[in-house]
Structure 1
Amino acid sequence: MAQGDEHTTTFKRVLLKISGEALMGDQGYGLHPPTVERIAREVQSVQEMGVEICMVIGGGNIFRGLAGSAQGMERTTADYMGMLATVMNALAMQSALEGLGVYTRVISAIRMDEVAEPYIRRRAVRHLEKKRVCIFAAGTGNPYFTTDTAATLRANEMACEAIFKGTKVDGVYDKDPMQHPDAVRYDEVSYDDCLAKHLKVMDASAIALARDNNLPIIVFSLDEPGGFRGILAGKGTYTKVHG
């Protein structure tokens, strides 16, 4: 990463992965428009650096397929409901970004032509080349795969140089820092250690897919104002997951 100047970065194209919960602010459910706009401003500030950005947003603030399945709902149906929740979040983020003057496309893995483009890889790459933000919705379009796996898949397909995973903490810890004050943060950690130690970076299939394609994962705090831009410029606190 480039060091020093916050207006420069070595990255040309990245994918930002955030959870659906990141959009609900202090609410326990749904969307919090001021929070959505704050994240949109973070994305806008990075785009102004000349970085091409795509995004994947989870759906846990509206519906989580695994939780629905645990309550007796058939897993495939629950997962499809979760995918639809990600489309709602993607549309909310698109609205916030376009309100800031940022051209944005929502691209869905499940066809719903009235509200989003279907996923066509070459078309999505062209959008990025034209400096449009692409928000990939509906996961991979398949049940049993998380939005973490979808993010890693799309990042590879778009030839992104890294996945930036925005969380509530400033990196990867050996245990939950919210519950354990003595938790230790890693500056760097390997893919294999993430899998072996069950570190909660992404699910195992997403980590394995990133490892197989040598795609770095940068874990940082999305709650830090200006943090996304700062991390891209090599500043701030984060954990890099790589080989």
Structure 2
Amino acid sequence: MCGRYFLLSDSDAIEAAFGVKPDVAPPPRYNISPGQPILIVRQDPLTYAPKREVAMVQWGFIPDWAKEPTFGGAGGGGAGPFVNARGETVHEKASFKNAYRRRRCLVIADGFYEWQRSGKVKQPYRVDLGEPGLVAFAGLWELWQGPDGSEVETACMITRAAGPSIEAIHHREPVIIPPEGWDDWLHADERDMKLYGRWLDRDPPLWTPHPVSRDVGNVANDHAGLLAEVEVEEAPEEPQQFDLF
């Protein structure tokens, strides 16, 4: 899964890439985590006209039919909204299939974090394309309405099996939609799902992983130092067991 990412690019860079500018200039964010507000690009949510907008939504997808906003979970069965959706099944899962047909989006980012487990130790990595610049993660968004009339817009990322560049670190990675696929992906037309579904099946990009400090594991930390590359710490050896008799 993808459970942390970062967004450093400013409003001008976002406008240059996507042709639309955020209403409020976003500050650099070095450790974005589930439950926090995130920036997405989508089509007009009222008319579905082919006009892009940048929206601020909550990271954690809540299906529109859920009775409570705690439905779902990062793994699909626990408490809390969905952080990710699997690209292999997103078109058929009850939680996602309606949004997949009509409410696809791009999650704006500069890169993400992933953790490699070695025994009891988890080493975090900053993962990017090797140079500064925006990427667009494939996502879904939804509007959830509570019985009291409250509303919340939420989103999740779509993931796929990891490619050769990071499969040694983790078995999943976020799906990237290249610029030439943005119009297909955002177009709210459910008549030909193969047209936009093909962007989930492309070869993954060549990611560059950089080991970083374990401080990124604390959601309270949000500073530029989290991006700095560090030496990988060796996992401590398991204590040797001796027979007493």
Q: TM-score normalised to the size of structure 1?
A: 0.28
Q: TM-score normalised to the size of structure 2?
A: 0.27
Higher relative contact order (CA 8 A, sep 6+): 1
Which has the higher Rg, Structure 1 or Structure 2? Answer: 2
Give the helix-richer structure, 1 or 2. Answer: 1
